[in-house]
Amino acid sequence: MKDASRRRKQQLYEHLKVAVMTLELRPGVDLDEATLSEEFELSRTPLREVFRQLAGEGYLDLRENRGARVSEMSYTTLRDFFLAAPMIYGAILQLAAKNSKPAQIARLKEAQEAFKAALRSGSSADRAMANNLFHEITGDMADNIYLLPSFKRLLIDHARIGMTFYRPKDQVMADNLSVASAQHDAIIAAIEAGDEAASMQLAIDHWNLSRDQIELFVTPTGLDLPLGTMARKTPA
């Protein structure tokens, strides 16, 4: 019985995680506890245990006497995201090159093959989740208890922002995805070689690719200070 309950809780956790990151559940929307409880055959207590776990990781917000909702995205979110992303990505990949283990590198290579498969024939949600898995593994490689929570929170909004502004018929975006895949290959090689400097530079290059594409859609015409300006000045 306990094993079945544990399995259903894990299924709910994975369902909500994917739904938040792929915008199946939009930012700020309230969760329907009754429907989720019935669908996953979970009582209120284990259901809310999952909610608390997801809230601690940044997927949900818990409000006293008002239930759970998907974490918000706002101008402040975007601003903080653009400022923090290059620093956090750089530190994660530098530490990944220093601390990675052979089994983790093997997992990273498998994740990259899944990402390439998603690029060839997957949906935008498939691509977002495959890309997220690749970066989650680099976070595990970094093995830093202070950086990892921030990195995982960053990945949530990176996926959501990418889903928000993805244009399947945009040739520039398609080309950027191809470049991103090549950068993943280079990241794997640098981590496997233990090259911390190259890994950190690749993190910045990889971030810049995402930032430039996102800015096409989120920077209002005539704004003097693009959201990525400070990130662009981050030293290599």
Read off the CATH number of the domain in which 29 is found.
1.10.10.10
Q: What is the pLDDT of residue 74?
A: 84
Q: What is the pLDDT of residue 109?
A: 98
Q: State which residues form the domain around 64.
A: 2-70
Q: What is the pLDDT of residue 233?
A: 43
**Same structural domain, 65 and 83:** no
> Domain boundary at 20, 47, 70, which?
70
The number of distinct structural domains making up the chain is 2
Residues 11-34 as b/e (b if ≥16 CB within 10 A, e otherwise) read ebbebbbbbbbbbebebeeebeee
For the entire predicted model, the pTM comes to 0.84
Which range has the worst mean pLDDT, 36-45, 56-65, 185-194, 224-233? 224-233
Residues 198-228 as b/e (b if ≥16 CB within 10 A, e otherwise) read bbbbbbbebbbebbebbbeebeeeeeeebbb
What average pLDDT does the chain have? 87
pLDDT greater than 50 at residue 58:
yes
pLDDT range class, residue 231, cuts 50, 70, 90:
very low
**Same structural domain, 203 and 98:** yes
pLDDT greater than 60 at residue 12:
yes
pLDDT greater than 50 at residue 226:
no
**Same structural domain, 117 and 18:** no
Kindly state the average pLDDT of the residues 95-113: 98
pLDDT greater than 80 at residue 214:
no
Q: Quote the percentage of the chain above a pLDDT of 70.
A: 86
Q: Which of 168, 132, 127 is nearest to 59 (CA)?
A: 132
